[in-house]
Copies of this chain bind each other. A is one copy, B any other.
Amino acid sequence: MEAPTTKQQAILDYMKGHVSEHSYWPSIRDIQAKFRFASTNAVFGHLQALERKGVLQRIPGAARAYKIAPEVVPDLSATVITYEGPGENVIELDAVPFLGAIPAGFPDYTESSGVVASMQAPLPAGARRRPPESFALRVRGDSMIEADINDGDTVIIEPGTPKHGDIVAALIDGETTLKRLIKQGSKVYLKAENSNYPNLTPVSSLVIQGIAKQVVKAI
C-alpha cells in the first residue's frame, strides 16, 4: 500500500484527534479551516488520496462520516528469535517457569470495542507466576502461522504494555490465545495471523496476560 504524504498524514491525524476530542468527525470545512486552505477542494483531494491509499474510508454523500482502515501491521517474522540449538537461549528458556500449553484458541479476527479490562491476568490452572514474571507457553494450533509461529513452538511471554502490532497472549472466554494486537482509534482488535480465517467475532472483555517476545521453534 502506498504511504500517505506528510500533509495527508497530518490531516488524518487531525481527523483522528477531532474524533477523540469531540466524538464526531470534522467536516471538510473544519479541516479546511484548520489547515488554512483557501478551497475546500484542497481537502477533498487529500481525502481522496487517503482513501485511494487505503487508510481512510469515506461514506459518499454523508456528512462527517468516515471510517479508519485498520493499520497495517509490519511483518514481525523476520525479528523472531529462533532457537537453533544449545546456547544462551536455552538457559533463558530454562530460567522462566513453564506453565502449560496454550489451547491456541480460535483462529479468528476478534473485535473488542470499548476495551476496559485491565487486571491481574489469570494464570493457567495450577500455575503461579514468579519473578521475573516471564513464562513460557507451548503453542497449539496454527492461528499465528503467518507470523511464523507454528504448532508445537514455544513462546516466551513477558509482562508489559502492549503496543500496536505486538503479539500478545490474551484470555478469551477463559482460554489463553495468541493473537496480534491491533489498535484502531479507540478500538482494539485481536487478529489471528492466518488468512484462512478472516472471521470477525466480538468479545465483551479483554484480558491480556503478556507480550510474546521470543519464539523457540520446534525442531
Contacts and interface: CB of A to CB of B under 8 A. Distances in A.
Contacts of A121: 118-120
A166 B128 CA distance: 27
Contacts of A23: 19, 66-68, 185
A20 B187 CA distance: 9
A197 interface: no
15 contacts: A20-B114, A22-B67, A23-B66, A23-B68, A27-B63, A63-B63, A114-B187, A115-B186, A116-B181, A118-B206, A118-B207, A119-B162, A120-B133, A122-B159, A186-B187
A91 to B, nearest CB: 23
A19 B129 CA distance: 39
A163 to B, nearest CB: 9
- Closest 5 interchain pairs by CB? A63-B63, A120-B159, A24-B65, A118-B208, A114-B186
Contact of A113 (B27, B186, B205, B207): B186
A153 B113 CA distance: 35
A65 to B, nearest CB: 4
Contacts of A159: 119-120, 122
A186 B59 CA distance: 22
A64 B24 contact: yes
Contacts of A62: 24, 27, 64
B119 A116 contact: no
Interface of A: 19-20, 22-25, 27, 59, 62-68, 113-122, 128-129, 131, 133, 159-162, 181, 183, 185-188, 205-210
A63 B64 contact: yes
A25 B27 CA distance: 13
Contact of A116 (B24, B25, B131, B188): B188
Given A24-B62, A186-B186, A118 B117 contact: yes
A55 to B, nearest CB: 14
Contacts of A209: 120
Contacts of A133: 120
